[in-house]
Amino acid sequence: MEGIKISGTLTFRLTLWYAVLFIVLSLAVFFLFYITLSSNLTRRIDEELAEDANEIIPILESGRPEALREYIKEEEDPEDSEKEFFLVLSPGLEIMASTDLGSWNGLYPAPVFLMKLENGREVIKSVSLPGRENKIRVIYKKTSGGVIQKGMSLEDDEELLESLRSIFGTTAAVVLLSGSLFGWLMARRAMSGVERVRETAALIGRGDLSSRVPIGREGLEIENLALVFNEMLDKIEALVREIKEVTHNIAHDLRSPTTRIRGICETTLGSIPDADNCRDAFGTVINECDRLTGMINTLLEIAETEAGVAPLDKTSMDMNKLAVDAYELFHPVAEDKGVHLDLQSGEGPLTVKGDVARLQRAVANLLDNAIKYTPPGGRVILSVTGGPEHVILTVSDTGKGIDEKTLSRVFDRFYRGDESRSTPGNGLGLSLARALVAAHGGRIEVRSAPGKGSEFTILLPGEWPSG
Ligand code: ADP
């Protein structure tokens, strides 16, 4: 990942997102828990304060200060004198009785709001006293006999909440760190598939078309990405191979005629040129030029037809009629070679929507091959039938057949079977036939048994009368 800033990687961003999400969620959970706990603690203290204050009311209202002092003395726990206190004031807010207030500076004089407090009412407050680290919780209860104040230090509760906060802080930091590390490792593992795709693409960019992405186990999405990427690479590699072959073949096929043309001209120039010599030479040159032009035109036609830019003059046409025309055209050629050509037409008009001239060309290429690759005494059958969806035109022969290796490539541009090289041809006939048939929405199939013969079948979508 040279040259890539870590902060820009998806791995980093994913980790960061998860970390932020984790912090926000755990803070929310902790906050809820903390608030609930702290309000429960306060409520518990408030209940205790109210209970204690209520217990004094009857004694206070009995009008016997000694009894009150007695009660408070009994209630006082010297060990807890720093944690809770009792203070009872007269209706004029003078101290009537109290526990030891040595560590409760600031409780007296009584706060101003007590003057306004109605009889029978109570107020509970959290109060800070000078010299005390923690707040205290105090109940002020006013009765006709005076004001009862009972207070408790919040030290224990605050300590509990404080240790909770620090436990949460430490735990959150540890979990966050280990979670981020784990998240980072997981994200890196998941992203390693993408990284492998990038590495393979880089290798291909450097010209190694055979590289493929190793399939890992990061998850189906990444596996599928690698599979699709590899499939695409297979196609690209096949395409590049084909382009190389075609270019090589074009170069080869152009070189032979041009070398021949040059040779003829050289020989003619070197000899004592008379009119006959010149006529022969020019004749051969013209033939070679025609061959070249024909090849270039066929190549262009294949390319245009495959690209869908060749204009097709489609009409409703009867394939039976096309077969009859082709039969009549090729009958003399077959006869010359001593090959028996048969026609088996289908019943009734077998209509397709097609460009007559182009379909004639496709069928002619098949017939030409069948006669070319069938030795004298052999037989070629041209038949047309109607299938449920297609019009089927078959050209079968009893010729030399096609071996398995050749069979898979007969439709490739410039491909010629090894044994066919002695026969005239340029390896473009079947490519053109396939392109033309495909342009009509059909397909060509081939079956062959070496030594016994071959069968080429054109299937075209039929145009059946409705109903
Ligand atoms: P060409 O006939 O000019 O070589 P084609 O594209 O028409 O080119 O055919 C490609 C190859 O397919 C031929 O070279 C030949 O090897 C093989 N082939 C085509 N038709 C037949 C057939 N009927 N019998 C045997 N081989 C055939």
Pocket test for ligand 1, best of 361, 367, 380, 420 (most atoms within 8 A of CB): 420
Cβ-based neighbour number of residue 131 at 10 Å:
8
Backbone angles phi, psi at 380, to 5 degrees: -125, 130
Q: What percent of the chain has pLDDT over 90?
A: 45
Write down the pLDDT at residue 55.
Answer: 92
For residue 28, give Cα distances in angstroms to 24, 34, 35, 37: 6, 10, 11, 14
- 99 within ligand 1 shell (Cβ under 6 A): no
Distant-in-sequence, close-in-space partners of 149: CB < 8 Å, separation ≥ 6: 85, 86, 87, 88, 89, 107, 138, 139, 140, 141
Q: Which of 125-139, 241-255, 355-369, 412-426 has the highest mean pLDDT?
A: 355-369
Instruction: Identify the band that residue 467 occupies on the pLDDT scale cut at 50, 70 and 90.
Output: very low
Pocket test for ligand 1, best of 369, 396, 436, 447 (most atoms within 8 A of CB): 369
Write down the pLDDT at residue 321.
Answer: 94
**Residue 251 parent element (H or E):** helix 220-270
From ligand 1's centre to the CA of 84, what distance in Å? 111
**Better-scored residue on pLDDT, 435 or 282:** 435
Q: Summarize the confidence of residues 201-206 as an average pLDDT.
A: 88
Least confident interval from 192-201, 271-280, 444-453: 271-280
By DSSP bridging, strand 136-143 and strand 122-127 are: antiparallel
Structure confidence by residue, pLDDT tens digits, 297-347: 998 899 888 888 888 899 999 999 999 999 999 999 999 999 999 999 888
**Residue 379 parent element (H or E):** strand 379-386
Q: Where are the alpha helices (DSSP H) in 374-428?
A: 404-407
Predicted confidence (pLDDT) at residue 217 exceeds the cutoff of 80: no
For the chain, give the mean pLDDT. Answer: 89
**Better-scored residue on pLDDT, 214 or 7:** 214
Predicted confidence (pLDDT) at residue 1 exceeds the cutoff of 50: no
Q: Summarize the confidence of residues 242-256 as an average pLDDT.
A: 81
- 390 within ligand 1 shell (Cβ under 6 A): no
Predicted confidence (pLDDT) at residue 4 exceeds the cutoff of 60: no
Q: What percent of the chain has pLDDT over 70?
A: 98
Distant-in-sequence, close-in-space partners of 37: CB < 8 Å, separation ≥ 6: 161, 164
Q: Summarize the confidence of residues 221-228 as an average pLDDT.
A: 87
Distant-in-sequence, close-in-space partners of 95: CB < 8 Å, separation ≥ 6: 87, 88, 89, 108
Cβ-based neighbour number of residue 89 at 10 Å:
21
Least confident interval from 43-52, 134-143, 346-355, 451-460: 346-355
Cβ-based neighbour number of residue 74 at 10 Å:
8
**Better-scored residue on pLDDT, 245 or 404:** 404
Q: Which of 22-26, 391-395, 461-465 has the highest mean pLDDT?
A: 391-395
**pTM score:** 0.57
- 53 within ligand 1 shell (Cβ under 6 A): no
Write down the pLDDT at residue 2.
Answer: 47
